[in-house]
């Protein structure tokens, strides 16, 4: 199988995201994790910080790389001759939006979207819930990569 892209905000990356990347990397020759640069929405971490953290956590996977993207995901795919997107589906609540996006991306450029069923260990995780819990001192260890724990607390303390 050729290349696939795993897009998202990853503010910050969670173990649920990492599970999807690893499974995609098992099936596709190369996986590009594409970090959305959204100028109108500031995150907890800058895009550069997110990319740095992602690069550290995917370092054990030789066929996963990390890049930033803005604009249309299908343009990012076309520029790299990538024809596949891989996304995780956590619950029915993800489905409506993901189906709509998948159909639009196919309509725009013939790019296919493949879904992996979220690992039940992490299917209740979202980046926003992680930030909310950590903000109030909740323990998120085991839910995000260990290298993030100190950085998450430091960013939230600002
Ligand atoms: P979120 O804020 O929802 O965590 P992202 O936009 O960074 O968001 O997530 C990118 C994609 O990763 C989502 O569209 C979803 O397909 C997938 N994803 C997010 N969290 C999980 C999870 N816990 N398990 C599996 N897939 C996930």
How deeply is 128 buried, as exposed, middle or buried, from its count of CB atoms within 10 A (0-12, 13-18, 19+)? exposed
Taking the C-alpha atoms of residue 29 and residue 1, their distance in angstroms, rounded to an integer, is 6
pLDDT at 127: 97
Count the domains in the chain. 1
Position 1 scores a pLDDT of 72
pLDDT along the chain (158 residues), means of 10: 94 98 98 92 93 98 97 97 97 93 98 97 97 95 96 90
Rounded CA-CA distance 36/30 in Å is 19
- Sign of the torsion formed by the C-alpha atoms of 103, 40, 9 and 47: positive
Protein residue closest via CA to atom 9 of ligand 1? 8
Q: Which residue has the CA at smallest separation from atom 2 of ligand 1?
A: 127
- What number does the ligand 1 atom closest to the CA of 13 have? 7
- CATH of residue 148's domain is 3.40.50.620
Predicted pLDDT at 48: 96
The pTM of the full predicted model, rounded to 2 decimals, is 0.95
Q: What is the pLDDT of residue 42?
A: 84
Mutate to test the pocket of ligand 1, among 19, 90, 148 (most ligand atoms within 8 A of CB): 90
Q: Which domain holds residue 64?
A: 3-157
pLDDT tens-digit readout, 111-120: 999 999 999 9
Report the candidate in 137, 99, 111, 142 with the shortest Cα–Cα distance to residue 124.
Answer: 142
């Amino acid at each position: 199988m050729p290349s696939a892209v795993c897009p998202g905000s990853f503010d910050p990356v969670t173990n649920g995201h990492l599970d999807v990347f690893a499974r995609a990397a098992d099936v596709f020759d190369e996986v590009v994790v594409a970090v959305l640069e959204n100028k109108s929405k500031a995150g907890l971490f800058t895009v550069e910080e997110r990319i740095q953290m992602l690069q550290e956590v995917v370092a054990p996977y030789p066929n996963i790389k990390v890049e930033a993207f803005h604009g249309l995901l299908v343009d990012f795919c076309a520029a790299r001759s990538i024809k596949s997107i891989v996304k995780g589906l956590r619950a029915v609540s993800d489905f409506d939006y993901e189906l709509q996006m998948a159909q639009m991306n196919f309509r725009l450029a013939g790019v296919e979207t493949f879904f992996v069923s979220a690992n039940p260990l992490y299917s209740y995780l979202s980046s926003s819930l992680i930030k909310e819990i950590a903000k109030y001192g909740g323990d998120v260890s085991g839910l995000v990569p260990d290298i993030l724990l100190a950085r998450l607390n430091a960013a939230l303390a600002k």
